[in-house]
């Protein structure tokens, strides 16, 4: 019997049988099987393969799942690279970038034009290659990869290699390229359709003094079912695009003077971010977490001890100061360890739970940056739990319960648990002994079992210092987002010599649990904007109330609107007074800003002191498409209105705010 992970379940199937699995209404078609053999090798197989005796565990991967899209689009990108080089041997490849349902292929044309007709020719050739070729992945020595790229004249790929820790050599026919990933489609004929979505140009690595590259953007599908599923979502996705919503609601921006992937928050965005952070801080303090605060730079020696410098260097910003290498913080954990080590701890004082909204910076290639969901600087709701081994299951259970509480507040219901394990065939990528890893993996799995939650296993997705539980949220469009992550770590306590005094008065090694529930605050806000199409719950809306006099020329209506607006502000309500312009134009502006409560002050409101308010919330039609709901509310006074708002916020946040 072999353990097979399918969506959110682990089942056992006898060897020699095929896996009976159908397309899923959210995740699309099953496209390949990802298996780990008893010899600790990872392999990919076509979906119609029979279960083999030498499989230890396997996972069915669906097209619209996170892994499915990444592997499919990554492989598709290499097929298009092979097509380009076959048709235009003098072009130089410059890498590919996968973003959701699209892959961008960069190349250098030596200054010649590249037309849409040529792009269509490239696609026709790519379809032919997909029918008749296969991908070969060679995990050979770095020096050998460099030599082969030099011989083939691929200067841009040689430069790109400097930013990849373990580049793999990819062959399709006699065409060579490189990739960070070792997993690709087992059969290129899985790619049934390829189409061009855009042509663009950009400078190499985003530098204006660098060569100008051409980019062909393509998408593809394994079946008509998946294409139709994507088409049905496409129009809806445009309404929910968080970059578009961010501009309309005046939430965030970037500037070339500040730098790519660094987010600026104007007032609307800053107050929304603060509302989210206030909730997160308060809910953690209620659960026994203690606040800490750490700097954004340190000596690189700290990250040398933690192992980040050797395992994560390509994603770090490093600089020299006083003839010593320093780092901009990519992770909070080493800082929390230093705070913990300031004193000796008794077994009675554990667990210790440190929490920080920590600002971190990580290098991402310019071509991968997108809105709030892929940035270089972000805030983590980061916590580290220092515990005894006998406390592991209870602490993991507590984190999972807290995750559910927070996701319920956010209105997120559709999520699943994935137990991410190391790739047993790639021990160089992980710190620590075999014994430590086995102990950590068993402990996490036991915690999941003790809560009786369904989960799947993902081989090769563990952090370099320990296995983890990832929580994957599926949004209104069926897209998967990794949000919460819970990592068990026996390695950093060894590296930093973290101990406590046990009841026998002897020093014992403790264990660390790394965990973030929202993950990146920036990314999570982007997810929320798209989930709610901008119609956020009242408690987190950047502007909660718009106050509008009917007639801007009526001084009494304007004065009354100002009085109500000031009372709301003094009561802690986020409000905006909108006076100038025709009423319909102001109402349109309020709706564009997605303000949930719109109070209009006219003659009747002046006469009896009442308020008539429109309450706009997120809604869906019968096909799950976005359709805002509107409700009319009446209040006898602004005091009654404020009490209603505060009660609604308490209800939405479970009494935390």
Annotated binding site for Zn(2+): 333, 384, 514
**Omega before residue 351 within 30° of 0, cis:** yes
Catalytic residue among 362, 374, 376, 523: 362
Alpha-carbon torsion angle 553, 630, 474, 413, nearest 10 = 120
Catalytic residue among 226, 242, 380, 652: 380
Pairing mode, if any, of strands 324-328 and 352-361?
A: unpaired
**477 near 491, Cβ under 8 Å?**
no
CA max distance for the chain: 86
Binding residues: 333, 384, 514
Clarify whether 333 is annotated catalytic.
Answer: yes
Report the side by side order of strands in the sheet with 611-617: 575-577, 545-549, 597-601, 611-617, 629-635
Clarify whether 535 is annotated catalytic.
Answer: no
Clarify whether 382 is annotated catalytic.
Answer: yes
Catalytic residue among 308, 384, 457, 586: 384
Clarify whether 336 is annotated catalytic.
Answer: no
Q: CA–CA separation, 185 vs 44, rounded Å? A: 7
Catalytic residue among 329, 422, 468, 594: 468
Clarify whether 242 is annotated catalytic.
Answer: no
In degrees rounded to 5, what are phi and psi of residue 590? -65, -40
Catalytic residue among 168, 376, 514, 560: 514
**561 near 578, Cβ under 8 Å?**
no
Backbone angle region of 419, left / alpha / beta, with phi > 0 → left and psi within -120 to 50 → alpha? beta
Write the CA distances from 457 to 4, 8, 421, integer angstroms.
9, 9, 7
Nearest to 336 by CA among 493, 484, 217, 227: 493
Catalytic residue among 226, 382, 423, 470: 382
How far does CA 644 lie from the centroid of its chain?
Answer: 35
Q: What's the number of CA atoms in the CB half-sphere (13 Å) around residue 82? A: 26
Residues 6+ apart with CB under 8 A from 243: 370, 371
Residues 6+ apart with CB under 8 A from 508: 347, 388, 499, 500, 501, 502
Report the side by side order of strands in the sheet with 9-13: 9-13, 2-6, 55-62, 30-37, 42-46
Supply the residues annotated as catalytic. 333, 362, 380, 382, 384, 468, 514
């Amino acid at each position: 019997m072999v353990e097979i992970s399918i969506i959110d379940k682990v089942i056992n199937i006898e060897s020699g049988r095929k896996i009976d699995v159908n397309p899923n209404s959210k995740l699309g078609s099953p496209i390949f099987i990802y298996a780990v053999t008893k010899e600790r090798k990872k392999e990919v197989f076509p979906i119609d393969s029979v279960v083999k005796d030498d499989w230890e565990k396997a996972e069915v991967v669906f097209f619209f799942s996170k892994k499915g899209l990444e592997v499919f689009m990554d492989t598709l990108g290499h097929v298009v690279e092979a097509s380009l080089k076959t048709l235009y041997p003098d072009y130089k490849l410059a890498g590919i970038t996968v973003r959701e349902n699209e892959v961008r292929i960069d190349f250098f044309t030596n200054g010649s034009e590249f037309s849409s007709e040529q792009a269509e020719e490239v696609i026709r050739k790519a379809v032919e290659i997909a029918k008749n070729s296969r991908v070969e992945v060679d995990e050979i020595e770095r020096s050998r990869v460099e030599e082969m790229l030099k011989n083939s004249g691929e200067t841009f790929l040689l430069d790109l290699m400097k930013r990849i820790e373990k580049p793999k050599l990819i062959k399709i026919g006699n065409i060579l390229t490189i990739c960070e990933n070792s997993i690709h489609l087992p059969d290129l004929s899985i790619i049934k359709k390829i189409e061009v979505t855009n042509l663009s140009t950009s400078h190499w690595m985003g530098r204006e003094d660098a060569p100008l590259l051409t980019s062909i953007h393509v998408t593809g599908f394994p079946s008509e079912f998946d294409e139709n599923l994507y088409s049905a979502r496409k129009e809806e996705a445009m309404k929910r695009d968080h970059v578009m919503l961010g501009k309309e609601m005046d939430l965030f921006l970037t500037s070339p003077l500040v730098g790519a992937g660094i987010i600026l928050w104007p007032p609307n965005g800053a107050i929304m971010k603060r509302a989210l952070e206030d909730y997160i801080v308060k809910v953690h303090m209620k659960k026994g977490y203690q606040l800490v605060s750490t700097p954004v730079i340190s000596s690189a020696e700290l990250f040398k001890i933690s192992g980040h410098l050797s395992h994560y260097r390509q994603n770090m910003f490093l600089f020299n100061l006083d003839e010593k290498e320093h780092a901009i913080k990519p992770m909070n954990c080493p800082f929390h360890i230093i705070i913990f080590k300031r004193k000796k701890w008794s077994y009675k004082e554990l667990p210790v739970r440190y929490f920080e909204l920590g600002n971190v910076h990580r290098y991402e290639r310019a071509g991968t940056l997108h809105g709030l969901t892929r940035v270089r600087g972000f805030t983590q709701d980061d916590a580290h739990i220092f515990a005894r081994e006998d406390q592991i299951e209870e602490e993991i259970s507590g984190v999972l319960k807290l995750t559910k509480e927070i996701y319920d507040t956010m209105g997120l219901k559709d999520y699943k648990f994935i137990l991410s394990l190391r790739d047993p065939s790639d021990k160089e990528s992980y710190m620590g002994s075999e014994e430590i890893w086995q102990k950590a993996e068993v402990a996490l799995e036991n915690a999941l079992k003790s809560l009786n939650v369904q989960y799947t296993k993902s081989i090769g997705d563990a952090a370099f210092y320990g296995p983890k539980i990832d929580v994957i949220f599926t949004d209104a469009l069926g897209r998967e987002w990794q949000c919460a992550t819970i990592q068990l770590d026996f390695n950093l306590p060894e590296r930093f010599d973290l101990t406590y005094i046990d009841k026998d008065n002897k020093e014992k090694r403790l264990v660390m649990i790394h965990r973030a529930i929202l993950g990146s605050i920036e990314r999570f806000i982007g997810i929320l904007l798209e989930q709610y199409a901008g119609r956020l719950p009242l408690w987190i809306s950047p502007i909660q109330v718009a106050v509008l006099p009917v007639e801007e020329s009526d001084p009494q209506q304007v004065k009354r609107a100002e009085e109500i607006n000031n009372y709301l502000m003094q009561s802690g309500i986020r409000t905006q007074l909108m006076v100038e312009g025709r009423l319909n134009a102001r109402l349109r502006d309020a709706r564009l800003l997605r303000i949930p409560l719109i109070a209009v002050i006219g003659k009747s409101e002046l006469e009896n002191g009442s308020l008539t308010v429109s309450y706009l919330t997120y809604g869906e039609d019968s096909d799950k498409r976005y359709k805002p709901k509107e409700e009319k509310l009446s209040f006898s006074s602004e005091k009654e209105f404020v009490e209603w708002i505060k009660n609604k916020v308490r209800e939405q946040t479970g009494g935390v705010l």
